[in-house]
Amino acid sequence: MVRWSQLFNADGHDRRHGIQDEFRSLLPTNNRRDRLPKSPIDAKEVTKIALRLKHQIEQVIPCELEEELVAKPHSPILTNAVVETAQQAGGEENRACVVYCLLVVKKWFKSQALVELWDADLHDIRALAAELIAKRIIEAEEDTDYLLEDVMLKRYSILIHGVASTPANAIERAVDLHALTVIGSSGYQKCISYLWRGWLVQDDEDPSRFVGYNGKTNTDYWSHLDPDRMRVPQYQNTVQIAMSVIYLGLYTGAINTVNPSGDIDVVEGLLYIFTLGFVCDEAAKFWKVGSLYVGFWNVFNTTLYSLLATSFVIRMIALSADVGTDKRKLNNELGYNFLAFTAPMFWMRLLLYLDTFRFFGAMLVVLKVMMRESLIFFALLIVVVVGFLQAFIGMDMSDNSLEDTGFVIKAMLNAIMQSPEFEGFEKFAHPFGLILYYIFTFVVMVILLNILIALYNSAYEDITENAIDEYMALFSQKTMQFVRAPDENVFIAPFNLIELFVLILPFEWWLPKARYERLNNIVMGVIYSPLLIITAFLETRSAHKVRFNRRRGEEDDDQVQEWEQVLNECDFEADGWDKKVQATKPNVEFDTTVLEIRGLRQEVGELKALITELRDRGWGSDTLKESKMIEEKTNEKASGSSESAGGDQDASTDADE
C-alpha cells in the first residue's frame, strides 16, 4: 500500500478581498513529488483545456462589468449556452477535468490581477466568472458517483515551465484558493460530507483514486471493528477533542496541586508526557511539509509548548538542588509561575478543535482575519514608536547620559494601551518633551487605534456577510487536512509516542513491511478499541439507514423530514393542483418588461406571417382596392353612429376601437 504522504499535495494561493484562511498543504513537498501518482490525463492536454476556458471567459467578459450582473442567479452574461460551451472544452473523454481547469483559470486571473493593476477589476470579474461556471457545472451533474470520484476527487496536473505540476484535485484546489462559490455548491459539500464520514476512501490498488467505502451498507457489527477506520476525519477529530480535554484537565490538576517540595507528581508527569507528544507531532509535520505548514495556530501552539518546556526545565533544575534550600524553592516557584502563565493559552487552544461547530468556526474565522488585519496596524505602530523613541532618547542624551530611558519606554507603552502618563514629562527637556509626548499620544490613540478599529470592523463585516460560506470553507479545509494526513498509520498525539518508541525505533528498520503493517494494526486496534466499539455501532446503524434510502431510490445520506412523511400519498397532478400552480407561477428568470416585449415580438411575427400568407394566396391589387373600399365604408358607418350617440357612448366606442 502506498503511503498517504506520497499522494497528496496542492499548490496555488489566492487573496480574495483580503479574506483568507491559512493556506497550506499538509504534505511533503519536493523530496516525494516524483513518487506521486501521475494524472490520468496528460498534463499538456489539461493545460490546453484550461487555456480554452480562459479564452472563452475573456470573450464572454471583454470589458469590466458590475459584479452583480455576473453573479446574480439568472445572469444575462453567464447563460446556459456559455456553461454548456465550457463543459465541451475537454470533449467527451476529458470533460471530468473541466471543473479543475476552471479553478486553475481562476488562479491565473487572480495572478494576472496582481500583475496588471490597471485591469485588476476586470481580471477579478473574470476569476469570479470561472468560479461561477464551475459551480453551475457541479450542480448540474446528476451522476453522483461520476461527480464525486472523477470530477471532484481525481487528480490532474498542468504544465509549468514545461514540467507537470504536482497532481491535485478540484477539492484541494478550491480549498487552497479559498473559492467560496465552489465550496458552497451542493456537490462539493456532498463530497466533503462523504469524506468526513469515511464513505469515500482511498483505493488500496490505485492510490490516485477515491472509491466508495465497501462497508457502507454492511450491517455486520464486527466488520466495522477495523483500525483502518481511524483514518476517517470524523473519528480523528473526535480523538483530538478528547485528548485536548484530557490535556486541559491534566493542566488544571497540575496547577491546582502545587508541590512545595518541588517533586513532580503523576498528574504533572502526564502533562509533560502529553506535551512531548504534541511537540513531536508538530515537529514531524513541519519536517515533512516544510514552511507551508506554518500558520497562526502552529505559532500559537509552539509558544505554548515552549513555555511548558521552560517550566519543565526549571523544575528539573529545582529537583537537582537539595530539599529545603533557597535555590530549590526559588526555581520551583519560578517553574510554577511559567506553568500558571500558560493558563489562558490552554483554554484558547481548545478552540482549535471546536471549529467543526458552526458558532466556533465562524468566530475563529473572524479572529484569524482580525489578527491578519492587525499586521497593518503593527507595521505603522513600529515605525511611529521607533521614530518617537529616538527623539526621546536624543533629548535624554543632551547631557551625555541616559537616565530616563526606562521611564520613557514605560510611558510610551502606557499611551499605546490608552493610559498615558503626562506628569513626568513636565521636567523632561521642557517644553519639548511634553509637546512631543502629546503628539505621540494623539498619533497613537486617535489615528492609529482608530485605523485598527476600522480594520477590525471591515473584517468583521466581510466575514459575517458570508458567515455560512466561510464556515463551510473552514470545515472543508479541516476535512482536507485529515485526508491529506502525512502518515498511513494514524497515531494521534500523544499516541504518536507509542508509534515512535514502540514501533518505529525497534521494528520498522528490520521487520518486513507486511508484518510491520499487521503489527501497526494490532497496536492501533488496542489503543483505539474504546472508540472503535462506539464507531462500529454507529456505522452499523448508518448502514441500515443507507439500505433504507436505497430501497426508496434516494441518496445514501437522505433523511426523511416532517414534510416528506405524507408526501407519497399526495398526487398533485391527479387532483389538478399542479396545473393551477403552473398557470399562476411567475417567471423569475426574466424581468416583466422583457417578457412583455417578447410577447409583443411574437405577435408581430405572427401578423407578419399572416400577411405573407395572404400575399402568397394571390391577393392582387384589385382585391386590395376592394378591401380598402369596404374598410372605408365601415369607418364611415362607425363615425355616423358615433355622432348620433351621447358622450358616454362616444367614450365607450373609442375604448372599443
In angstroms, the CA 209 to CA 38 distance is 11
pLDDT of 632 reads: 64
pLDDT reported for residue 34: 42
**pLDDT category of residue 1 using cuts at 50, 70 and 90:** very low
Question: Can you tell me the distance from the alpha carbon of 489 to that of 516, in angstroms, rounded to the nearest whole number?
Answer: 11
Is residue 207 within 8 A of residue 483, CB to CB? The reply is no
* Mean pLDDT estimate for the chain: 81
Total Cβ atoms within 10 A of residue 620: 9
Query: So what's the pLDDT on residue 18?
Result: 38
**Residue 531, pLDDT above cutoff 80:** yes
- State how far the Cα of 172 lies from the Cα of 8, in Å rounded to an integer: 9
Reported confidence tier of residue 627, pLDDT bands at 50, 70, 90: low
Note the pLDDT tens digit of each residue in 379-410: 888 999 899 888 888 887 765 556 677 888 88
- Express the helix, strand and coil content of the chain in percent, nearest 5 each: 70, 0, 25
The answer to whether the predicted template modeling score (pTM) of the entire model surpasses 0.75 is yes
Alpha carbon distance 322, 324 (integer Å): 6
354 pLDDT higher than 60: yes
| Assigned C-alpha cell, 342 | 500558560
CA nearest neighbour of 13 among 116, 125, 124, 106: 106
Q: What is the pLDDT of residue 645?
A: 43
Question: What is the spatial distance between Cα 610 and Cα 446, in angstroms, rounded to a whole number?
Answer: 77
Q: Do 476 and 175 meet the contact criterion of CB atoms below 8 Å apart?
A: yes
Name the residue type at position 377. Answer: F
Q: Among 296-300, 487-491, 579-583, where is mean pLDDT lowest?
A: 487-491
**C-beta of residue 486 within 8 angstroms of C-beta of residue 283:** no
End-to-end CA distance of the chain: 86
Least confident of 245-254, 354-363, 402-411, 484-493: 484-493
Residue 650: pLDDT above 50? no
Tell me the average pLDDT across 173-185: 91
Distance CA 303, CA 308 (A): 9
Q: Which residues of 249-278 are buried (b: 16+ CB within 10 A; e: fewer)?
A: ebbeebbeeeeeebebeebbebbbebbbbb
Confidence bin at 91 (pLDDT 50/70/90)? confident
Cβ-based neighbours of 331, under 8 Å, separated by 6 or more: 262, 314, 315, 317, 318, 321
pLDDT of amino acid 53: 94
The confidence score (pLDDT) of residue 126 equals 93
| Spatial contact of 271 and 251, defined as CB atoms under 8 Å apart | yes
Percent of the chain with pLDDT strictly greater than 90: 23
Grid coordinates of 641: 353612429
Whole-angstrom Cα distance, residue 482 to residue 504?
A: 22
Longest dimension (CA), the chain: 133
Question: CA–CA distance from 645 to each of 131, 206, 652, 653 (Å)?
Answer: 68, 92, 10, 9
Q: Per the structure block, which three cell numbers stand in for 93?
A: 473523454
Asked if pLDDT for residue 172 goes beyond 80, the answer is yes
Contact 472, 447 (CB under 8 A): no
> Where do the domains of the chain lie?
4-213, 233-353, 358-475, 586-626
- Give the per-residue pLDDT at 424: 72
d(CA 123, CA 113): 5
Between CA 488 and CA 504 the distance in angstroms is 13
Lowest mean pLDDT among 399-403, 411-415, 423-427, 450-454: 399-403
pLDDT in tens, 482-501: 886 556 678 888 898 998 89
**Rg of the chain over CA atoms, in angstroms?**
35
pLDDT at res. 33: 40
| Range list of H helices, 484-591 | 496-498, 513-527, 529-551, 577-584
